[in-house]
Structure 1
Amino acid sequence: MNSPNRTDHVSGTDSRNAQVPDDPGNAGDGDGRTDAPSPPVARPLLQRLLRLATGLFLLAATVLLGCRALGSDGITPVPQLLAFLPWLLVPSAVALLLTALLRWRTGVVWALVVIGAGGWFLRPFDTEAASASASHGRAGGAAPVTLKVLTSNVEYGLATRGLIDVIRDEKPDLVFVQECEFRCVELLDGLIPAADYPYRNVVKASSAEGSSILSRFPLTDTARIPGLLAMPGSTARVGDRTVRLQLAHPLPPIPGMVDDWHTELGRIRTFAAAQKAADAPLILAGDFNATRDHAAFRAVLDAGGLRDSALLAGAGRTPSWPTDLPRPLGAQIDHVLVSDDFSVRSARFLDLADTDHRSLLVGLELR
């Protein structure tokens, strides 16, 4: 028989033992010691800097692609960067590699989205060129008239002698010359025989403001498109049709002049829309200071129902500026735009010395 007192004594002993707090220093390994939890280890400084830089790039690329998707040229530096949008894929691929090495899952997904969106905006160039190739041989009444069109920015007239060599070699039917200042005009008059190009529409001015149109076909001068840089226009009798010729040279979208660039491209758009309403064949050529990734340039194409000759000839991504960069680097800002009265047979970008632009030579057929 157990004694109640003994039972109470044992119970009291157990109760006292249960109330003794554990000593952190006595728990754990065999000798009674326990290590404290290790504090989180910070990423190395280089990794943090790489992640920050990659994130900032992806943010900037997202803004740029967003403007492209929304049809907005935005504000500086968006218009300037849009000219080089195709090359966004290169740093985007680098960003994808870095996010993978850094094991940044959100960054990997972000970079893949940026690459996918950038690749999507390359598609219209290839798609349009392929669909338009079927129109090259489209029938339309009498036999077509073939002609060659050359556009060249000679950079303050410095490349005029190179242009003259190209004219002698290629013998284009129509020549559009931008930045053709006084000396440029003198050289063209003195070294290009009037018998070869008897018809000319020349705006004499200094620096980048002068422009000229040379033609083998009879010309009638028309009103210029208003702009700081001369943009003369003419009509030409080509075969049995009257073709409207217009030189384009809006201001560049440099910081502080983006609004002026928009305004002058808007005037070109208004002109193109009026020509579409008149249903007359149109060649609109020159230095547009804009690529097909600029909304203001696409508006010109849409308003006039115009097509880009280089694109139709399979050279839609060949750069025309700046020539300091080797091909295929750069942007295509020099264009020959045509109404659907024309088929495009060829397009070549030619290197000239002493200018930052490549000239564009296009072979056309007027139906």
Structure 2
Amino acid sequence: MADIEERRPRSKAATFLLVIATTAFVVAAALRLLGIDGTRHMVATTALVPYVTAVGVLLGAIALLLRRWLVGTVTLLVALVLVAAVAPRAFPDSRPIGVGQQVRVMAANLLVGRAEAEAVVEAVRAHEVDVLALQELTPAMVRDFERAGLDEVLPHRVFLAEPGASGSGIASRYPLTARDLAAPSTLRQAGALVDLPGEDLEVVSVHPLPPVVPDGPETWQRDMAGLPQRDLNGPFRVLAGDFNATLDHVGLRRLLNQGYVDAADQVGAGLDPTWPSGAVWPPPVVIDHVLVDNRCPVDTFQVIDIPGSDHRAIVTQFVVPAP
């Protein structure tokens, strides 16, 4: 009798803890499934959906092992819905045959000019980059790039350098024409038309204000909404840079529904984290992206470390179809 009486409190405690954990999981899952980018804390939670998904599967399995059938069943059902949304990012999509101009685009957040310019230029050379989209480009960083020889490999540029995190820029192997492609935003988002040998290409260096600032995510939401849609009547278009958003955020999913594809997702690299580089806390997430016009087949995608920056750079190759 004594043994039975001692087990009951532990059983109730286990059930209570499972219910609390399951409730937290379901709330986090609901933010993603219902598309709620509310407060900055909600936005931050949504960024962790791949981790939330793994936790949900584990919680459901534990609940079933402990014979908490209702808790386990509900948790696993919700977790499986998240798995269906997240898991495909780790597998390549079928690629149509592309005939046209191959283009390699690299995006790099420079951490207010602290990134090593030599490392960026070395990556540009090693990966034979055609177009480089830069965020947090400072005047001092521009001078560092000049000393590092960026002009030798990417001689054309549209730079909007500013002190702090506001600057951005585009450098290219091919001639550039500056264009205002994004709506006015808190941080500069350079845009340019790239004069390719075949069809032209429009590129935006993307950098909306982070959503976790004390004032809340409203400015981030407005900046994301101001990014240009794909234009079927104009040049092919690419959005590349630090979106401060994952594939689980409403603003980014809206762009994908407007005719873009995420290059990393296309080749099965959609779970490779880009920020923070070289750290385990906060949990690494995927907030740097290259969104490509869905008429452009994506060949490759790679994440690379850049010393001095808290972001990993991203490089993708795709085909701009021939006219």
TM over 0.5: yes
Q: Does structure 2 retain, via aligned residues, the 8 Å contact 1:58–1:114?
A: no
Alpha-carbon spacing, 1:52–1:218, altered in 2? closer, same or farther (3 Å)? same
What is the identity, as a one-letter code, of the residue corresponding to 1:159?
Answer: A
2:244 is aligned, of 283, 289, 292, to 289
Q: What residue is the counterpart of 1:203 in the other structure?
A: 160
Alpha-carbon spacing, 1:348–1:52, altered in 2? closer, same or farther (3 Å)? same
Q: Does structure 1 retain, via aligned residues, the 8 Å contact 2:238–2:291?
A: yes
Per-residue CA deviations over 1:327-349 (Å, capped at 9, x if unaligned) read: xx622111111113422111110
Q: TM-score, normalised on structure 1?
A: 0.78
Q: What residue is the counterpart of 1:240 in the other structure?
A: 198
| SS of structure 2 residue aligned to 1:158 | coil
Q: What residue is the counterpart of 1:58 in the other structure?
A: 22
The whole-number CA distance in structure 2 between the counterparts of 1:101 and 1:180 is: 53
What is the identity, as a one-letter code, of the residue corresponding to 2:312?
Answer: R
Per-residue CA deviations over 1:286-327 (Å, capped at 9, x if unaligned) read: 011111111110111222x0111111122121111122346x
What's the CA shift for 1:93? Answer: 3.5
What's the CA shift for 1:74? Answer: 3.1
Q: Does structure 1 retain, via aligned residues, the 8 Å contact 2:275–2:287?
A: yes
Q: What residue is the counterpart of 1:172 in the other structure?
A: 129
Per-residue CA deviations over 1:252-308 (Å, capped at 9, x if unaligned) read: 12053311111110111xx22xx42534211110011111111110111222x0111
| SS of structure 1 residue aligned to 2:231 | helix
Give the root-mean-square deviation of aligned CA atoms.
2.5
Q: TM-score, normalised on structure 2?
A: 0.88
What is the identity, as a one-letter code, of the residue corresponding to 1:263?
Answer: R
Which structure 2 residues correspond to residues 89-104 of structure 1 after superposition, within 5 A? 89-100=53-64, 102-104=66-68
What is the identity, as a one-letter code, of the residue corresponding to 1:134?
Answer: R
- Percent identity of the aligned residues? 25
Q: Does structure 1 retain, via aligned residues, the 8 Å contact 2:90–2:269?
A: no
Residue 110 of structure 2 is aligned to residue 146 of structure 1: no
The whole-number CA distance in structure 1 between the counterparts of 2:90 and 2:54 is: 19
Alpha-carbon spacing, 1:313–1:190, altered in 2? closer, same or farther (3 Å)? same
Q: What residue is the counterpart of 1:217 in the other structure?
A: 174
Q: What residue is the counterpart of 2:218 in the other structure?
A: 259
The whole-number CA distance in structure 1 between the counterparts of 2:232 and 2:318 is: 22
The aligned length equals 315
Which structure 2 residues correspond to residues 208-357 of structure 1 after superposition, within 5 A? 208-223=165-180, 225=182, 226-254=184-212, 255-268=214-227, 271-272=228-229, 275-303=230-258, 305-325=259-279, 330-357=284-311
Q: What residue is the counterpart of 1:107 in the other structure?
A: 71
Residue 114 of structure 2 is aligned to residue 158 of structure 1: yes
What is the identity, as a one-letter code, of the residue corresponding to 1:198?
Answer: P
What is the identity, as a one-letter code, of the residue corresponding to 1:194?
Answer: D
| SS of structure 2 residue aligned to 1:278 | coil
| SS of structure 2 residue aligned to 1:121 | helix
The whole-number CA distance in structure 1 between the counterparts of 2:128 and 2:313 is: 14
Q: Which moved more, 1:199-208 or 1:165-174?
A: 165-174
The whole-number CA distance in structure 2 between the counterparts of 1:219 and 1:366 is: 16
What's the CA shift for 1:123? Answer: 4.8
The whole-number CA distance in structure 1 between the counterparts of 2:133 and 2:161 is: 14
| SS of structure 1 residue aligned to 2:203 | strand
Alpha-carbon spacing, 1:97–1:181, altered in 2? closer, same or farther (3 Å)? same
Residue 27 of structure 2 is aligned to residue 69 of structure 1: no
Q: What residue is the counterpart of 1:32 in the other structure?
A: none
What is the identity, as a one-letter code, of the residue corresponding to 1:363?
Answer: Q
Q: Does structure 1 retain, via aligned residues, the 8 Å contact 2:204–2:239?
A: yes
Q: Does structure 1 retain, via aligned residues, the 8 Å contact 2:156–2:172?
A: yes
| SS of structure 2 residue aligned to 1:366 | strand
What is the identity, as a one-letter code, of the residue corresponding to 1:72?
Answer: I
What is the identity, as a one-letter code, of the residue corresponding to 2:309?
Answer: T
Q: Does structure 1 retain, via aligned residues, the 8 Å contact 2:177–2:192?
A: yes
Alpha-carbon spacing, 1:60–1:348, altered in 2? closer, same or farther (3 Å)? same
Alpha-carbon spacing, 1:49–1:163, altered in 2? closer, same or farther (3 Å)? farther
Q: Does structure 2 retain, via aligned residues, the 8 Å contact 1:224–1:230?
A: no
Q: Does structure 2 retain, via aligned residues, the 8 Å contact 1:204–1:210?
A: yes
The whole-number CA distance in structure 2 between the counterparts of 1:240 and 1:90 is: 45
Which structure 2 residues correspond to residues 183-202 of structure 1 after superposition, within 5 A? 183-202=140-159
Higher RCO structure (Cα 8 Å, ≥6 apart): 2
The whole-number CA distance in structure 2 between the counterparts of 1:179 and 1:267 is: 19
Which ranges of structure 2 fall in alignment gaps of 5 or more residues?
A: none
